[in-house]
Amino acid sequence: MPETKDVETNMPGEAADLILPTHQQAASLKSKDLLSIEHLDASEINLILDTAHHFKEISERPIKKVPTLRGKSIINLFFEPSTRTRMSFEIAAKRLSADIQSISASTSSLVKGETFIDTARNIEAMYPDLLVVRHAFPGAAHMLAEICSAGVINAGDGAHEHPTQALLDALTIRDHKGNIENLRVVIFGDIAHSRVARSNIHCLLKLGANVVVAAPPTFMPCNIEELGVEAFDRLEPALEGADVIVALRIQLERGGKLSFPSLREYFNLFGLGRDRLALAKNDAIVMHPGPINRGVEISSEVADGPQSVILDQVSNGLAVRMAVLYLLAGIGPAKNVKTAA
Amino acid sequence: MSKLLLKGGRVIDPVQGIDKTADVIIDGGLIESVDSDLDINGANVLDVSGCIVAPGFIDMHVHLREPGQEYKETIQTGTAAAAAGGFTGVACMPNTSPVNDHRAVTELIIERADEAGSVPVYPIGCVSVGQEGEALAEIGQLVEGGCVAVSDDGVAVATAELMRRALEYTRMFDIPVIEHCEDLSLTQNQKAPMNEGSVSTALGFKGHPAAAEDIIVARDLVLAELTGGSLHCAHISSAGALRMIRDAKGRGVNVTCEVTPHHFILTDEEVRTFDTNTKMNPPLRSKADVDAVIEALVDGTIDAIVTDHAPHHADEKALEFDLAPFGIVGLETAVPLACDRLLHRGHVTLQRLVELFSTNPARILRLGAGTLSEGTVANVTVLDLDRMATVDVSAFSSKSYNTPFDGWELKGWPVFTIVAGKVVWKATE
């Protein structure tokens, strides 16, 4: 979608013409919200990825701005610390000419004892078009979506889901591998506390990948196989034949003092260094949702090495968020307005 | 007081082995007789033909919130809810504010119930001072004040030694120690908001494993055996706990247990809605646990059905799932849920249903009730097993309406609640 005027008009339809003929793409998203990957279907995921693919070009221009979402109001509600995701949504919104305001927990009235719902209702009363929410607890974005007529984008709810991360990961894999179907994707590390793992599992399975997870048993949530993945309690067998490796950050701030003895031991058993990387396919790519703990889950040699696509993920994050903002706030039918419970 | 005649109902009294169509005559608040075709001149006659006449149902596990949290419930509204749910008595847990670890609190509860209560209230005292798990409360004083049991409900009795002493000490008074079975180190000090299993994995919630319940049940069964004390395990929800209790009962250990309707009906799949009325402690468990609970209701491992009636203000439940308080109200839904889901589905007989709601709670708490024997206080629950109605929280007598069962259409409801010969509640047409 190289032309600004096209971006302004019927972009989804045009995007479809440029995409591989085999894959299914929805005409629009079914919900006013993006709360989880679990509740999207493959054609909706493809719509977002294809839209994102065409938005990438905007960020490569000397003038990185199109008027597509001019006059739209977006609020970033961050109830948990975040730099990368918050900034990515801010830049994405600005490149589409939307007005965006970020509110973080430390500057909101939550510290004065206002409830989440009251905060949400107050923000809703200012007529935003979209709310982007990051929250420490699962289900927070769902709660917000139920009481707000504005569209809600989940930017991470506890250890539940982080849909835009999974979408940007899928876009990155597609960029490098052409197709996601039948790839062996290994996700390893602190699966238990990871919303990225959950969203990625749903997303990659819907797109036809074989997903393998590996973690010490203390970091593996029970019955993970029921999500459709193969699970290993050592990294080496998981890596064999891998096309894609996703390292997850050890989330020390989420507790788990009893989950492993030391960072040193973790790196010894689960750190992704060159030797372990050699177990994967030669052309395997290495990903990480960031921020990375060098020398804990991944060595610097691998993080900065030729197989690493970690910075591509960040760039794609921008494109994916532009696509999601566009698809949810851009145009389309009247919103399904719900009244407060 | 004139006589009251309950005419033409099917009378069920497991204590006396009665199951027949008969009349019940009540005089001076006491059961005078149960017999066929009684015709007493001058008696008030209540036509209960087509209905079940049972000894009064007793809910041995409720939270009335008074004193201290009257914005959630009071003794007045809680007992009105009990009457409206077919209960002729409730035993209230001590985790009020202040907690019931002192005779003065016990007496206050009983006084308030006498003044404003629709049904009798049987206070349960604390095991430990302040429910802090360190020193035994003055259990002798609590019993003299009117407590019928002790419990640190809300949490488990903190240590094995304290539980041992409680089970020993209460032998003097012949009262049970009621245990909330939860190892806090496995539930992250109650920060885990739901059952650990496939659903907690999918939703990213911290999990409360059934093992947290099983471990305390195991500990307490060992201690009950050691001490000969009377152990009652509250709101059992896990298959493993039931297996151990069944085994212990088989060996003659002095143990009883109870279950709530939500634990024999709902599974943790309900949490997928993020509805905070699916958050309770113990949490909704897996399908296998629900099946095990029903099996234990059938085979007699479970002695009583209780509500764990836990009123919370709507504002408190309107929080993020992790932050919302545990618990749901149950007094006005338990009997129809049990009729619909246990009786009408053929899991239990009518006889067994009455044991679960009346005979056994009365026996466990040594109330001298739970029967229609001549000379006992005339507490009676009358059920219409064919009545169809929809749960409607807006019609609740309780101050709170935190329940996942709103809107459920159920078959089999209480129609009269009679306490000491007086009709304290009747169903609207």
pLDDT per residue as tens digits for the range A161-199: 999 999 999 999 999 999 999 999 999 999 999 999 999
Whether residue A126 is found in the same domain as residue A198: no
Q: Is the peptide bond before A216 cis (omega within 30 degrees of 0)?
A: no
Provide CB contacts within 8 A for A275, sequence distance 6+.
none
Mean pLDDT within B251-267: 98
Task: Give, in order, the Cα–Cα distances in Å from B183 to each of A186, B127, B149, B158, B179.
Answer: 35, 17, 22, 9, 11
Is residue B413 a part of any domain in this protein? no
In a domain, B197, yes or no: yes
How far is C-alpha B284 from the chain's CA centre? 17
Q: Does B252 touch chain A (CB under 8 A)?
A: no
Mutate: best of B194, B320, B323, B402, partner A, most A CBs <10 A: B320
- The percentage of chain B sitting over the pLDDT mark of 70, rounded to a whole number, equals 100
Which pLDDT belongs to residue A35? 98
- Indicate the average pLDDT of chain A: 88
What residues in chain A have their Cβ under 8 A from chain B's Cβ atoms?
A: 38, 115-117, 135-140, 142-143, 157-161, 195, 198, 221-224, 226-227, 255, 341
Residue of chain B with shortest Cα separation from A225: B198
- Residue A255: what pLDDT? 57
Q: What is the mean pLDDT of residues A136-145?
A: 95
The answer to whether residue A41 sits within a structural domain is yes
Mean pLDDT calculated for residue range A236-242: 98
User: Do both A224 and A310 map to the same domain?
Assistant: yes
Tens-place pLDDT, residues B30-80: 999 999 877 788 889 999 999 999 999 999 999 999 999 999 999 999 999
* Mean pLDDT on A296-311: 97
Give the C-alpha separation, B315 to B325, whole Å.
10
Supply the pLDDT for residue A106: 64
> Does any domain span residue A236?
yes
A215 and A168: one domain? yes
If DSSP codes are grouped into helix, strand and coil, which group holds residue B49?
A: coil
Q: Is the pLDDT confidence value at A23 over 90?
A: no
- Does residue A2 sit within a domain? no
- B359: pLDDT strictly greater than 60: yes
Q: Please state, for a pLDDT cut of 70, what percent of chain A lies above it.
A: 86
Looking at the structure, tell me whether residues A86 and A212 fall in a common domain: no
Lowest-pLDDT choice from A90-104, B36-50, B307-321, B367-381: B36-50
Rounded to a whole number, what is the distance in Å from the CA of B394 to chain A's nearest CA?
Answer: 15
Domain identity same for A89 and A219: no
pLDDT of residue A338 exceeding 70, the answer is no
Residue B33 lies in a domain: no
Residue A111 — very low, low, confident or very high, per pLDDT cuts 50/70/90? Answer: low
Q: Are residues A132 and A260 in the same domain?
A: no
pLDDT per residue over B368-395, tens digit each? 999 999 999 999 999 999 999 999 999 9
Statement: residue A17 has pLDDT above 90: no
Read off the pLDDT of residues B268-302 as tens digits, 9 standing for 90 and up.
999 999 999 999 999 999 999 999 999 999 999 99
Looking at residue A16, its pLDDT comes to 39
Same domain, A172 and A282: yes
Supply the pTM of this predicted model. 0.92
Question: Same structural domain for residues A301 and A324?
Answer: no
- The parent domain of residue B102 ranges over 57-364
Active-site residue (options: B289, B308, B340, B384): B308
Tell which residue, A76, A250, A246, has the closest CA to residue A155.
Answer: A76
User: Which residues have C-beta within 8 Å of that of residue A125, sequence separation ≥ 6?
Assistant: none
Say if A212 falls within a structural domain. yes
The answer to whether residue B329 is domain-embedded is yes
**Does residue B417 lie within any of the structural domains?**
no
Q: Is A15 a member of any domain?
A: no
Residue B10 in this model has a pLDDT that exceeds 90: yes
The pLDDT tens digits of the residues spanning B146-176 come to 999 999 999 999 999 999 999 999 999 999 9
Is residue B196's pLDDT more than 60? yes
**A140 with A258, same domain?**
no
Least trusted range by pLDDT, from A254-263, B90-99, B122-131: A254-263
pLDDT at B1 over 80: no
Strands B304-305, B52-55: pairing is unpaired
Please tell me the predicted confidence (pLDDT) of residue B221.
98
Q: Tell me which of A338 and A93 has the higher pLDDT.
A: A93
How much is the pLDDT for B388? 98
Cβ of A222 and B200 within 8 Å?
A: yes
A123 and A177 together in one domain: no
Residues spanned by the domain of A119: 27-161+317-328
Strands B422-426 and B409-419: what pairing?
antiparallel
Closest Cα in chain A to B314? A341
Q: Touching check for B287 and chain A: CB below 8 Å?
A: no
Neighbours of A70 (CB within 10 A): 12
Separation CA A252–CA B301 (nearest Å): 44
Q: Is the pLDDT of residue A341 over 60?
A: no
Examine residue B384 and state whether it is found in any structural domain, yes or no: no
Whether B323 has its CB under 8 Å from any CB of chain A: the answer is: yes
Q: How far is the alpha carbon of B397 from chain A, nearest alpha carbon, in Å?
A: 22
A155 close to A85: Cβ distance less than 8 angstroms: yes
Q: Are A123 and A192 within one domain?
A: no
Residue pLDDT, tens place only, B198-211: 999 999 999 999 99
Which residue in B216, B103, B88, B95 sits closest to B163, CA to CA? Answer: B216
Per-residue model confidence (pLDDT) at position A12: 40
Residue A256 pLDDT = 61
Q: How many domains are there within chain A?
A: 2
Q: Is the pLDDT of residue B18 over 80?
A: yes
Is B322's CB within 8 Å of A223's CB?
no
Cis peptide bond N-terminal to B414, omega within 30: no
Active site residue B153: no
Residue type, A146: E
Number of domains forming the structure of chain B = 1
Please report whether residue B86 resides in a domain.
yes
Query: What is the value of ipTM here, to two decimals?
Result: 0.91
Is residue A339 domain-resident? no
Indicate the pLDDT class of residue A331, thresholds 50, 70 and 90.
low
- Across the range A81-86, mean pLDDT stands at 90
Token output for B3: 């006589």
Regarding whether A211 and A131 lie in a shared domain, the answer is: no
Q: Which residue of B has its CA nearest to A202?
A: B202
Position A19 pLDDT exceeds 50: no
| CATH number, position B130 | 3.20.20.140
> Any idea what the CATH number is for the domain that residue A178 is in?
3.40.50.1370
The answer as to whether B401 is a domain residue is no
Half-sphere exposure (Cβ direction) of B219: Cα atoms closer than 13 Å: 20
Check if the beta carbon of residue B207 is closer than 8 Å to that of residue B197.
Answer: yes
Chain-wide mean pLDDT for chain B?
97
